[in-house]
Amino acid sequence: MHSLQLHASTFGLKPIKSAVLAVACLVLTPGWLPLPFLGAALAQTSGASSDQRCHTDDAQDEGDQHPDIHKLQQPDTRPNCESDRVANPRERQRMERYFGDLVARRMW
Amino acid sequence: MVTSLRLRSGEVVDCVDLYKQPALRRRGMEAHRIELRPRGEPEEKGSVEEKPASDKDVDPSSSSRQLSASRQEYGAEGEICPEKTIPIRRMDAEILRNFRSLDDFFRKHPPHVVDGPTNLHQYAHAYRTGDNWGAQSILNVWGPYTERASEFSLSQIWVVRGSGRTRETVEAGWQKYRDLYGDYRPRLFIYFTPDNYGSGGCYNLTCSAFVQVSNSVYIGGGFTNVSQHPHPSTAWEFKLRWQKDGTEGHWWLKYGDTWVGYYPRTLFDSDGLRDMAAKVDFGGEIIDEQPSGRHTRTDMGSGHFPGDGFGYAAYHRQIRYITTRNVWGVRPSLTATRTDADCYDITLHNSSDSWERYFYFGGPGFWAHCN
């Protein structure tokens, strides 16, 4: 389910609604629509899900809200994570020291 | 040692001695004497009414049973920090990993470099310009969809003074922000900036600025209930207030009926918030990082546009401000504005009943007319 949600997000839809639409799409769409592209997106996002920083909102979406919106389907071209959020080791140490000192045991 | 608590969500809350809390270690706070509550409430008598409502303007909630006070997960099962201690979240390494530096952590939103310079703050809000000693409103809580972990969605009150690089604010509301909190739940938050959103301010209790006095409110804590569709439903809401305790007093935060604590006036400049504020502002804000070059799908408010109304759209109601004579300003004249009405919108209303001045706001982000 989680990977399906990631995949749905890749297609620009919210998870629950997207799952329903994806199934409907498989059943109803004519063969000329780009189904291979669905598989490619799945492969791409399942790789992304192994990175803990590549996450999507897994909160339940409202299935029936805004029937006319979110219908533009554009595939994402990149996973939902950003390498630039990683601090260098020195900065990481500085952050950990800061928060270690902020609530030190002597304050309890 | 006093104690620490592990909440059901898994986060650890340390109960810190009231008189040894981080804010008291800030430079200039050595001789500070903690105050336990402000000197008084704004007066109802002689309150200023700027926009009287007619008898035809009534509350949108048909019965008071549709409105319920939001509760925090902290304390929901009875256990809270002991008296004379305050709850502070223990920061975990997973959250720190989402930020490149301490400076980034302290900003309202760090300047990620994602597909170019795309850190777009988008707003739908209503403000009143004029000297004041604070503001109050009742907000309903939602769990809006956020497309990226590094994007947030919030509903809040801003109290502002100063301009350019020296603009100062105190802010509070609910916020969903995966990178900062480690999960996708809306949480009570505060924020302040003494330098127009540089790295001099911070969220919650993370930079030794806010002096907390209550042990029953967990700043940065999640809620047990959020509002849900469809209508009719219960609106889970809470009341928030920023109040300047006179010219010489501090900026106090009131959550529900509890005085939570204050930002000391010495944090601020005389051209800024030290003596008063110059604007009160209410509404929603999201971050649009434009994933893949199109508008984010991150919701503002509930994700519904304001036209959907009660039961669907997010709101602020009973919007008030406090005059510099310490009198309530009720049903204020407000100016509504939004970054792009096709993405997120706001509509102002006025009720002769308990909702007083109110508005609905929000929207779904990306769709055919918001791309």
Asked whether residue B368 is assigned to any structural domain, the reply reads: no
Chain A residue nearest residue B105, CA to CA: A95
Chain B residue nearest residue A61, CA to CA: B145
For residue B319, what pLDDT band results from cuts at 50, 70 and 90?
very high
Q: Reply yes or no on whether the pLDDT at B143 is more than 80.
A: yes
Q: Reply yes or no on whether the pLDDT at B232 is more than 80.
A: no
What ipTM was estimated for this complex?
A: 0.86
Separation in Å, CA of B343 to nearest CA in chain A? 11
- What pLDDT is attached to residue A64? 37
For residue B318, what pLDDT band results from cuts at 50, 70 and 90?
very high
Interface contacts (A, B; CB < 8 Å): 127
Domain residue limits at A18: 1-59
**Measured between CB atoms, does A8 come within 8 Å of chain B?**
no
For residue A107, what pLDDT band results from cuts at 50, 70 and 90?
low
**Measured between CB atoms, does A51 come within 8 Å of chain B?**
no
Least confident of A15-24, B194-203, B288-297: A15-24
- Rounded to an integer, the average pLDDT of B305-326 is 95
- What pLDDT is attached to residue B357? 96
Candidates B2, B22, B101; nearest CB to A108: B2
Asked whether residue A76 is assigned to any structural domain, the reply reads: no
Phi/psi of residue B129, nearest 5 degrees: -95, 135
Candidates A61, A69, A94; nearest CB to B145: A61
- What pLDDT is attached to residue A30? 42
- What pLDDT is attached to residue B63? 59
Asked whether residue B86 is assigned to any structural domain, the reply reads: yes
- Who wins on pLDDT, B235 or B170? B170
CA distance B126 to B275: 23
Q: Reply yes or no on whether the pLDDT at B317 is more than 80.
A: yes
Residue type, B360: Y
Asked whether residue A95 is assigned to any structural domain, the reply reads: no
Asked whether residue B146 is assigned to any structural domain, the reply reads: yes
Round the average pLDDT of chain B to a whole number and report it. Answer: 92
Chain B residue nearest residue A103, CA to CA: B22
- Who wins on pLDDT, A59 or B138? B138
Contact B169, B188 (CB under 8 A): no
Asked whether residue A36 is assigned to any structural domain, the reply reads: yes
Asked whether residue A3 is assigned to any structural domain, the reply reads: yes
Chain B residues within an 8 Å CB radius of A80: 147-149, 291
Asked whether residue A18 is assigned to any structural domain, the reply reads: yes
Q: What percent of chain B has pLDDT over 70?
A: 95
- What pLDDT is attached to residue B61? 79
Asked whether residue B179 is assigned to any structural domain, the reply reads: yes
Asked whether residue A105 is assigned to any structural domain, the reply reads: no
- What pLDDT is attached to residue A25? 39
Q: Reply yes or no on whether the pLDDT at A89 is more than 90.
A: no
- Rounded to an integer, the average pLDDT of B249-278 is 98
Least confident of A56-65, B46-55, B220-229: A56-65
- What pLDDT is attached to residue B159? 98
How many domains are there within chain A? 1
Asked whether residue B169 is assigned to any structural domain, the reply reads: yes
- Please state the pTM of the whole predicted model: 0.83
- What pLDDT is attached to residue A10? 33
Instruction: Provide the pairing of β-strand B153-161 with B168-176.
Output: antiparallel
For residue B116, what pLDDT band results from cuts at 50, 70 and 90?
very low
Candidates B112, B184, B371; nearest CB to A85: B112
**pLDDT (tens digit per residue) in A1-50:** 333 333 333 333 444 444 444 444 344 444 333 333 333 333 333 333 34
Q: Under an 8 A CB cutoff, do A82 and B99 touch?
A: no
User: Which is nearest to B185 in space by CA: B220, B230, B231?
Assistant: B220
Q: Reply yes or no on whether the pLDDT at A71 is more than 70.
A: no
Domain residue limits at B123: 3-35+76-362
- What pLDDT is attached to residue A27? 43
Least confident of A18-22, B68-72, B220-224, B299-303: A18-22
Asked whether residue A55 is assigned to any structural domain, the reply reads: yes
**Measured between CB atoms, does A1 come within 8 Å of chain B?**
no
Q: Under an 8 A CB cutoff, do B16 and A108 touch?
A: yes
Asked whether residue B342 is assigned to any structural domain, the reply reads: yes
CA distance B277 to B319: 16
How many domains are there within chain B? 1
- What pLDDT is attached to residue B120? 86
Phi/psi of residue B156, nearest 5 degrees: -160, 175
**pLDDT (tens digit per residue) in B31-83:** 999 999 999 999 998 888 998 888 888 888 765 558 889 999 999 988 999 99
CA distance B186 to B156: 12
Q: Under the phi-then-psi rule, with left for phi > 0, alpha for psi from -120 to 50, and beta for the rest, what region is B134?
A: left
Asked whether residue B47 is assigned to any structural domain, the reply reads: no
Contact B223, B208 (CB under 8 A): no
Asked whether residue B40 is assigned to any structural domain, the reply reads: no
Contact B301, B341 (CB under 8 A): no
CA distance A72 to A89: 41
For residue B266, what pLDDT band results from cuts at 50, 70 and 90?
very high
- What pLDDT is attached to residue B328? 97
- Who wins on pLDDT, B188 or A43? B188
Q: Under an 8 A CB cutoff, do B21 and A55 touch?
A: no
